[in-house]
Amino acid sequence: MKKFTYLILIFLSVTCLCLLIFKKDYGYDKSEVQNNEPLNVVNNYIPEPKNITLNGIDYLQSQLPIGKFGGTFTSSSIGDPKTFNPYNANDATSAELSEIMYDGLTQTNPTNGDVIVKLAKKIEISKDNKTYTIHLRKGIKWSDGVEITADDVYFTYNTVIFGGFGDGSTKDVMMIDGKLPTIEKIDKYTVKFTTPKPFAPFLRNLSASILPKHIFEKATNKGKEYFLTFQGIDTKPQNLVISGAFKLKEYVAGQRVVFEKNKNYYLINKNNEKLPYIDKWVSVIVGDTNNQTLKFESGAIDVLLVNGALVSRYKELKKEGKFELYNLGPSTNTTFVVLNLNNRKNKDGKYYVNPIKQAWFQDENFRSALDWAIDREDLILNIFSGLASPLYSAEPINSLFINEKVAQGHKTDISYAQKLLEKSGFYKKDGILYDKKGNRVEFELLTNAGNTQREATGVSIKQDFEKLGIKVNFKAIEFNSLVNKITNTADFDCIIIALTSNIIEPNSGYNVWNPYGSLHLFNKRTPNDLTSSDKVLDFEKEIIEIFNKGALELNFKKRKEIYGKYQEIVAKQNPMIYLYAPLQIYAIRDKIKNIFPTKLGGLFHSMTEIYID
């Protein structure tokens, strides 16, 4: 390892085990090669960036090939951003834009998963693995020319994250046995973190966006409610001060988001020229995945995540020589049906979920019956043309911490599902399912409009549940409305949605499984809950105890055993019923160079180094 680029992971064994990802057989070969022409299965080695000091400024130097300056890269997103504040980003579009504009102290090496430096130049770890001294790069600047210093780091962690501003996800994952780390400013370029106990995920958590104190302090001074509105989508681009490679230039609702290169960015190439190469990055806002496909084929966008059903067609189109196809392996997103187990009352004294439905969703047999009724193989065949794998585990199938037994899952069995329902007093009459009190079983299933794969999934699951006699009212609604139901009002029965997972660090899901976490979807405590401390389910307590224990264990083998237990509980209790992991197949224009996809880093980990030929 090069001492100035790699950081020492607390659990060193992960480094070697990450390499297993690239050798694993996911079982896609037969269905993937539909016309005897295999896709490019990525397995790139990415040279490590180096620390370079020039004229008193500590740059990070890319080791990728030298490229050409200029040009515009065009991608797309389904739906508009909801905010430009990285700590209020609850949707995928806003989160992606935040990653573009704000850097963290660390980042993940896209080749092997090691934690490496970014805004930090060097990190020193004490022998007891509880103290982390962060040495920042000297002389690097925010986009407005103000120097990035320890004051910004201290403010971001001590005031914003530890102070509970924004959505709280970062705070959730930094909890260590119920306590937060402490941070101390040592000098202008040095801060020191101290954890209550050795904490395996700590270094990876330092990838959180660092904020400019001179911009955000006025927002935190006005309180948490004001902070939730700060740097919303109506913010003038010139008022956004960022540290990342690209700065917002223009946002037109429903049409596009335009970024321009940040001339103060601290990454340079091997000729010591400032990156990025491209002048602009445009994200075209589209209504649905079908529109994305049309825009790619018309040349309006440069990259496309190809639907499985179109892979064979795109292999033929590829022969024209205008784009390349890359197979990044199974998606690291986990797609699932989440059931609303919330049986509390809101501020108006009304139940979030109808008490009759509450009784169904709270019933373990009922939830299991739904799981056994879903025909995942049918979903995979009809929606992805076989280019996916059934998902039964809360961990992605390519996770280093996967519980292999849980991941094997089970076949669809309507008969067994019916027996589970009968155990809890449900009965079927004239093809209609009733509960033991004679109430017809009927509920609403939602997903976000525009995502044609999820819409098709909803139609299929509706039909599966109807085989049990359940009436399902399926609707695809606007994404903003869906997110509001999940995060604010808890006004839903069931929802089809997905979360992004970290395949090398399960603790990143802490805020999903913590009963008080911001992404704890199935028993959500809304901002208006007056009884947030009550009604934690027994299995919720078991799961969070497992997460607390796993984060404190430094041995990889023992950690995997610990996290395997939470997967067993989720598979048994089914508060979130997992569905599938589609193969990630991207088409990208041949003119886009310096593309080195990896299964850990994806397609655009080298976005600052891509260029247009």
Task: Answer whether 399's CB lies under 8 Å from 503's CB.
Answer: yes
Check pLDDT > 70 for residue 15.
no
Residue 519 lies in a domain: yes
How far apart CA 130 and CA 134 sit, in angstroms, is 13
Here the tokens at position 280 are 């602009």
User: Is residue 32 situated within a structural domain?
Assistant: no
Comparing 98 with 279, which gets the higher pLDDT? 279
Q: Is the pLDDT of residue 545 over 90?
A: yes
pLDDT confidence bin for 8, thresholds 50/70/90 = very low
Cα-Cα end-to-end distance for the chain: 33
Residue 313 lies in a domain: no
**Shared-domain flag, residues 259 and 338:** no
600 and 503 in one domain?
A: no
Exposure string for 304-332, b = 16+ CB within 10 A, e = fewer: bbbbbbbbeebbeebeeeebbbbbbbbbb
Task: Give the integer Cα–Cα distance in Å for 571 and 582.
Answer: 20
Domain identity same for 48 and 176: yes
Q: Specify the CATH number for the domain of residue 481.
A: 3.10.105.10
Residue 226 sits in which domain range? 42-302+591-613
Do both 121 and 257 map to the same domain?
A: yes
Q: Rounded to whole angstroms, how far apart are CA atoms 551 and 510?
A: 10
Calpha distance 292→287 (Å, rounded): 8
In a domain, 107, yes or no: yes
Residue 317 domain flag: no
Q: Are both 520 and 610 inside the same structural domain? A: no
CATH code of the domain in which 607 resides:
3.40.190.10
pLDDT single digits (tens) 430-457? 999 999 999 999 999 999 998 889 999 9
Task: Check whether residue 397 and residue 530 sit in a common domain.
Answer: yes
The vertex-421 CA angle with 418 and 423, nearest 5°, equals 115
- Alpha carbon separation from 561 to 12, 420, 543, 549, 585 (Å, rounded): 17, 29, 13, 11, 32
Over the stretch 491-530, which tens digit does the pLDDT of each residue have? Answer: 899 999 999 888 889 998 998 999 888 889 999 887 666 4
Give the pLDDT band of residue 42 (cuts 50, 70, 90).
Answer: low
Question: What's the confidence (pLDDT) of residue 92?
Answer: 78
Pairwise CA distance, residues 320 & 587, whole Å:
13
Q: What's the pLDDT at 332?
A: 87
Q: Please check whether residue 479 is in contact with residue 79, taking contact to mean a CB–CB distance below 8 angstroms.
A: yes
In this structure, the answer to whether residues 267 and 179 fall within a common structural domain is yes
Q: What is the pLDDT of residue 167?
A: 77
Q: How many CB atoms lie within 10 A of CB 240?
A: 19
Give the CA distances from residue 527 to residues 110, 225, 347, in Å, rounded to whole numbers and listed in that order: 36, 11, 10
Using the predicted structure, report yes or no on whether residue 22 has a pLDDT greater than 50: no
Same domain, 221 and 77: yes
Indicate whether 600 pLDDT > 50: yes
pLDDT tens digits, 195-242? 999 998 999 999 999 999 999 999 999 999 999 999 999 999 999 999
User: Is residue 510 located within the same domain as residue 606?
Assistant: no
Residue 364 lies in a domain: yes
Per-residue b or e along 558-593, where b marks 16 or more CB atoms closer than 10 Å to that residue's CB: ebbebbbbbbebbbebbbbbbbbbbbbbbbbbeebb
pLDDT, position 346: 75
Against a cut of 0.85, is the pTM above it? no
Same domain, 102 and 149: yes
Q: How many domains does the chain have?
A: 2
Residue 458 lies in a domain: yes
Query: Looking at the domain assignment, is residue 87 inside a domain?
Result: yes
Based on the fold, state whether residues 398 and 451 are members of the same structural domain. yes
Question: What average pLDDT score do residues 40-65 get?
Answer: 87
Clarify whether residues 488 and 595 are in a common domain.
no
| pLDDT per residue as tens digits for the range 349-376 | 788 889 999 999 999 999 999 999 999 9
